[in-house]
């Protein structure tokens, strides 16, 4: 229906020019071309097809084409544009100009040449008919425009987006907006709708919290991470026991030990609560209990190593060394077997430089690293081989 209205609007717009046969043929030809044109406006038809379908002679068709060219609604492509298009000698290639790009000046000159007014009262009244249609009344309805602005956002000023939102035909909508009074009212209502939505947003929008710097977040970590959170049930925060430590408390303790050893605060490159350091402390709690994590950090900082980040605490060689010290007095000391040791030396010659394989508990520790997804691929292969040879259990 919308396409029919667009064609009808065009037909009545040019109706005063249709007093002669060739002008009437021009109108019919344009509508016919429009239906058979491709996406770029090109239409390829033979004179025989046009004569058989429309009943026009070749002379009338040529004169009608000339009128459409004069109005700026049709152009004949040049030979350069037609290169690569396979057409026979009886085929005429034309390109129609879409109504949305209609040249008003060429149209008005055509009216004046035959002594008619380019903008008559009849044509203006016809455009008023569109304004009575419900779908076009929405273009000057504030509530409808407010919903459109909320949905479209920055695209609210684009006519094609508005036409798509209201499910209107774009060509017909442009014809409707040719009326200055309707166009002015449309822009006024659109601006009013935009102002209404913007004012509602400014009232309902919550105040943004001031941005906290990394230094302020560090101070917050040091002051609050080892305390319980303040709440209605717990109005007075208390000190967390070591057994209650989570990753923020572990990170805070790391920073305390770091400052004690190097006499300078630990520097975070991003938020302490969202940076990689917090993730590393969480991985430590996956390996040790909170009490064991504290003992591990104490041992780590008491040594001569350069502890420049929590990532150091996750190095397999350091974890293994600490573990060996913890189980050094253990009575568990079964033989691993020379066959397995020989396989490790052949497969990974440098493996025993960083990892001890003197006790079965060493392998059990490596297996725990793999289960916690801390160990690398080499450790994983060694553990899998130990399971395969029956030294470790798969459970």
Give the mean model confidence (pLDDT) for residues 225-251: 77
Give the mean model confidence (pLDDT) for residues 4-28: 59
**What local confidence, expressed as pLDDT, does residue 19 receive?**
45
**What local confidence, expressed as pLDDT, does residue 155 receive?**
79
Let me know if residue 17 belongs to a domain.
yes
- Could you tell me the pLDDT band of residue 332, with boundaries at 50, 70 and 90? very low
Q: Write out pLDDT tens, residues 260-286.
A: 888 888 888 777 888 888 889 999 988
Let me know if residue 208 belongs to a domain.
no
Question: Shortest CA distance to 371 belongs to which of 379, 247, 389?
Answer: 379
Give the mean model confidence (pLDDT) for residues 250-269: 87
Domain boundary at 314, 341, 360, which?
Answer: 314
Total domains in the fold of the chain? 4
Compare 126 and 389 and report the one with higher pLDDT: 389
Residue 75 shares a structural domain with residue 30 = yes
Residue 71 shares a structural domain with residue 32 = yes
Q: Taking phi first (over 0 means left), then psi (-120 to 50 degrees means alpha), and beta for anything else, what does residue 116 get?
A: beta
Domain boundary at 253, 285, 314, which?
Answer: 314
Residue 261 shares a structural domain with residue 272 = yes
**What local confidence, expressed as pLDDT, does residue 331 receive?**
37
For residue 96, the surrounding DSSP H or E stretch is: strand 91-96
Residue 244 shares a structural domain with residue 199 = no
**Whole-number Å distance between alpha carbons of 201 and 217:** 30
Contact yes or no for 382/344 (Cβ under 8 A) = yes
**Whole-number Å distance between alpha carbons of 55 and 61:** 10
- Could you tell me the pLDDT band of residue 329, with boundaries at 50, 70 and 90? very low
Helix (H, G, I), strand (E, B) or coil at 42: strand
**What local confidence, expressed as pLDDT, does residue 48 receive?**
82
Let me know if residue 240 belongs to a domain.
yes
Residue 179 shares a structural domain with residue 261 = no
Residue 324 shares a structural domain with residue 354 = yes
Give the mean model confidence (pLDDT) for residues 337-352: 80
**Whole-number Å distance between alpha carbons of 251 and 277:** 7
**What local confidence, expressed as pLDDT, does residue 42 receive?**
80
Helix (H, G, I), strand (E, B) or coil at 52: helix
**What local confidence, expressed as pLDDT, does residue 1 receive?**
37
The single-letter DSSP state of residue 95 is E
Residue 233 shares a structural domain with residue 309 = yes
Q: Which domain holds residue 322?
A: 315-395
Domain boundary at 203, 230, 263, which?
Answer: 203
**What local confidence, expressed as pLDDT, does residue 2 receive?**
41
Q: Tokens representing 52?
A: 């058989």
Let me know if residue 149 belongs to a domain.
yes
The residue to which tokens 């057994």 are assigned: 243
Helix (H, G, I), strand (E, B) or coil at 63: helix
Task: Name every residue whose Cβ is closer than 8 Å to that of residue 180 and which is 6 or more positions away in sequence.
Answer: none
Show the DSSP H helices in 205-289 as ranges.
Answer: 214-224, 247-262, 276-287
């Amino acid at each position: 229906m919308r396409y029919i209205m667009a064609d009808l609007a065009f037909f009545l717009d040019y109706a005063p020019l249709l007093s002669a046969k060739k002008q009437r043929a021009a109108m019919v030809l344009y509508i016919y071309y429009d239906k058979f044109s491709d996406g770029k406006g090109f239409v390829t038809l033979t004179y025989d097809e046009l004569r058989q379908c429309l009943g026009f002679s070749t002379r009338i068709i040529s004169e009608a084409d000339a009128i459409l060219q004069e109005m700026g609604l049709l152009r004949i492509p040049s030979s350069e544009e037609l290169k690569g298009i396979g057409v026979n000698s009886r085929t005429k290639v034309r390109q129609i100009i879409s109504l949305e790009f209609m040249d008003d000046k060429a149209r008005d000159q055509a009216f004046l040449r035959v002594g008619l007014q380019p903008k008559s009262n009849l044509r203006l009244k016809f455009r008023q008919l569109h304004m009575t249609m419900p779908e076009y009344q929405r273009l000057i309805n504030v509530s409808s425009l407010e919903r459109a602005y909320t949905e479209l956002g920055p695209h609210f000023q684009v006519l094609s987006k508005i036409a798509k939102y209201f499910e209107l035909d774009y060509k017909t909508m442009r014809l409707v907006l040719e009326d200055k009074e309707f166009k002015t009212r449309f822009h006024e209502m659109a601006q009013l709708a935009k102002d209404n939505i913007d004012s509602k947003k400014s009232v309902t929008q919550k105040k943004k919290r001031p941005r906290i710097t990394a230094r302020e977040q560090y101070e917050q970590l040091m002051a609050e991470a080892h305390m319980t959170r303040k709440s209605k049930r717990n109005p007075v925060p208390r000190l967390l026991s070591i057994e209650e430590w989570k990753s923020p408390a572990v990170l805070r303790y790391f920073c305390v030990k770091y400052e004690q050893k190097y006499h300078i605060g630990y520097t975070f490159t991003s938020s302490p609560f969202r940076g990689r350091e917090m993730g590393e402390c969480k991985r430590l709690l996956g390996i040790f209990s909170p009490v064991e994590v504290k003992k591990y950090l104490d041992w780590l900082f008491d040594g001569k190593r350069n502890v420049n980040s929590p990532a150091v605490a996750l190095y397999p060689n350091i974890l293994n060394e600490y573990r060996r010290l913890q189980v050094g007095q253990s009575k568990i000391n079964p033989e691993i077997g020379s066959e397995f040791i020989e396989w490790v030396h052949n497969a990974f010659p440098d493996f025993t430089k960083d990892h001890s394989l003197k006790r079965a508990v060493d392998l059990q520790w490596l297996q725990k690293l793999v289960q916690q997804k801390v160990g690398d691929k080499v450790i994983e292969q060694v553990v899998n081989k130990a399971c395969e040879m029956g030294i470790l259990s798969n459970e």
